[in-house]
Amino acid sequence: MVVHNLPNSIDFPVTGGAYDFTKATTSLTNELITSSKKVTLLRHGLSTWNAESWIQGSSDLSVLTEVGVEQPEISKKALENIHFDQCLASPIPRAKQTTEITWQGREKPLVYIDSLKEISLSS
């Protein structure tokens, strides 16, 4: 699915979607992006809490299951022939582990960003 005009609100799933962000700026440098960019989103592998249908938020208590460790290997193979400028990831352990497996063998370093963490559900 390619969407050429970004709607004011999104009331439909956008899995696999692509948006044209021409003349957007990067939040880290505030410089204009001069060419189209693709953003690939990858969710962490199956976690212990996912397997139990629990909502985990940013909790570190939910870790990857055996299947969750195998899933990034599949993603790695699927993405191995695609060039990426950069890899940004959440520092939450299950996301880190997923990203480290998927990104293994690439030249560019991983960049962990706190704002990519899931929301905190603790009181």
Residues of each annotated binding site for substrate: 43-50, 94
Please, which contacts does 82-85 make with residues 24 or more away whose CB atoms are closer than 8 Å? 82/40, 84/40, 84/108, 85/37
Residue stretches of the annotated binding site: 43-50, 94
- Buried/exposed code over 55-94 (b: 16+ C-beta within 10 A; e: otherwise): ebebbeebbbbeebbebbeebbeebeeeeeeebebbebbb
The question of whether 4 is a catalytic residue gets the answer no
DSSP reduced 3-state for 116:
helix
Pairing mode of beta strands 18-19, 87-89: unpaired
Is 31 noted as a catalytic residue in this protein?
no
Q: Residues 44, 66, 100, 107: which is the catalytic one?
A: 44
Catalytic residue set? 44, 118
